[in-house]
Amino acid sequence: MRFSTVLAAVAVYFLPAVVALSPSNCNTSNKARTGSDFVLEEQADNPHVKSLAKKLKRVTVAHVFDDGNHKMTSTSQGLRWEKTSSFNDVDTSKWVPQGITSTADALDAGTYEGKDGWIVSWHRNDDKSVRVTFVNRKTNKYRHALLVYPHAADNFKAVPIHAGGIMWYGNTLWVVDTKNGIRVFDLDNIWQVSDGDGVGKKSGGGYSAAGYKYVIPQIRWYKWTSSFPFRFSFISLDRTTSPDSLIVGEYQKSTSEPIRLVRFQLDYKTRKLVTSSGKKAKGTWAYCVGIERMQGAVSANGKFYISRSNGNNRGDIFGWVPGKTARKNGGIVPRGPEDLSYDKRNGGHIYTVTEHAGTRYIVDLKVSSIKTS
């Protein structure tokens, strides 16, 4: 009698307190999760970037934007990649566009070193290398560059991941690394290399990057350290929060797996995640969104915009205000929409890239054309 009375008292004491919902199980009616359960740990800066910088020719972001060697074509669906008899980014199976960010993410002013443009990420079909594309909006000309990992004081190699979404913040370029977290690349160190098929130091001296003229080195990364898995599929910047923040989210075919969005805070002075002791960055918000085939999401002014792919059918964009049901804008983008990016200029725009061979575009949507809940 006495023992069970104690148990009952304990239960009464604890049950009304906040019941922490599992961050890794979305099968509850309350879809909000505790942001701080989602933890990324900042890893030390790569020491080889500095030594390599002394050996290689450095160029600016503006220089790369002005050195386009291919051109996009304006179509009713969006800007299409170059397709000629000798070069074809529209149909190639070797590279697939995945992520998009713009100079409007980089700096609040919307331009960077006087340039207005996008950076798009592509994964290689074997996921053993990543390239990014600088698209100059004034000329529609573009240039690919290779992301590299400096593994020695005098050498670098390709970045062997499936690159997903991408985000540009000041002089840093953030690329999601599906199971591991986020990699950050240094736009203050874009290096020009010479011709050659290899990646890194050439036997005869100098450097090459699989035929690409420029490389961008990884400066640091954020390691996923929570005990449960999270799938880093896409990333976007929100400059309308204080401080600035980013959201990362998960692609899943079906809700048999959790499909979540998480927000982390950014420090505009260091261009890093806000961390506490132990260099740990904890999420400040997390939510079980549960939209199957979610490929990208971006938030601005308290509203979320979410892309969904539908196989060979056109893609959807959801407009969502937390607390309400997301509203579907069915088929408003070509098939295969991916990552999203927001630009407050000219009344507000959302950008995406579409991935399927044959229908690869940069799509520019007016925010006013997307209905929200």
Ligand X SMILES: *[C@@H]1O[C@H](CO)[C@@H](O)[C@H](O)[C@H]1NC(C)=O
Q: How many chain residues touch ligand X (CB under 6 A)?
A: 3
Query: Measured from the CB atom, is 27 or 69 closer to ligand X?
Result: 27
Tokens, residue 101: 């960010």
Shortest Cβ 289–ligand X spacing (Å): 14
Closest to ligand X by CB, 25 vs 125, is: 25
Note whether 256 binds ligand X by CB under 6 A: yes
Query: Looking only at residues 6 through 25 of this chain, which bind ligand X when binding is defined by CB under 6 A?
Result: 25
- Nearest to 147, CA basis, from 185, 177, 119, 176: 185
Q: Residues 82-121: x/- map of binding to ligand X (CB under 6 A)?
A: ----------------------------------------
Q: Which is nearer to ligand X, 30 or 93 (CB)?
A: 30
Identity of the amino acid at 255 = T
Tell me how far, at minimum, the Cβ of 268 lies from ligand X, in Å: 37
Nearest residue to the partner ligand X, using Cβ: 256
> Minimal distance in Å, beta carbon 224 to ligand X?
18
Cβ distance to ligand X smaller for residue 27 or 194: 27
CB count within 10 Å of CB 55 equals 13
Smallest gap from Cβ 29 to ligand X, in A, equals 13
Phi, psi of 285 (to 5 degrees): -165, 140
Binding mask 211-250 for ligand X (x = CB under 6 A): ----------------------------------------
Minimum CB–partner distance for residue 28 and ligand X (Å)? 9
| 139 part of the interface to ligand X, by CB under 6 A | no
In the complex with ligand X, the residue whose CB is nearer, 2 or 253, is 253
Question: 91 near 125, Cβ under 8 Å?
Answer: no
Closest contact distance (angstroms) between CB of 36 and ligand X is 20
Nearer to ligand X, 25 or 276 (CB): 25
What's the angle, vertex CA 350, arms to CA 306 and CA 160, rounded to 5? 70
Q: Which is nearer to ligand X, 25 or 74 (CB)?
A: 25
27 binds ligand X (CB under 6 A): yes
Rounded distance between C-alpha atoms, residue 110 and residue 112, angstroms: 7
Buried b (16+ CB within 10 A) or exposed e, 250-273: bbbeeeeebbbbbbbbbeeeebbb
Shortest spacing between CB 261 and ligand X, in angstroms: 18
Q: Which residues bind ligand X (CB under 6 A)?
A: 25, 27, 256
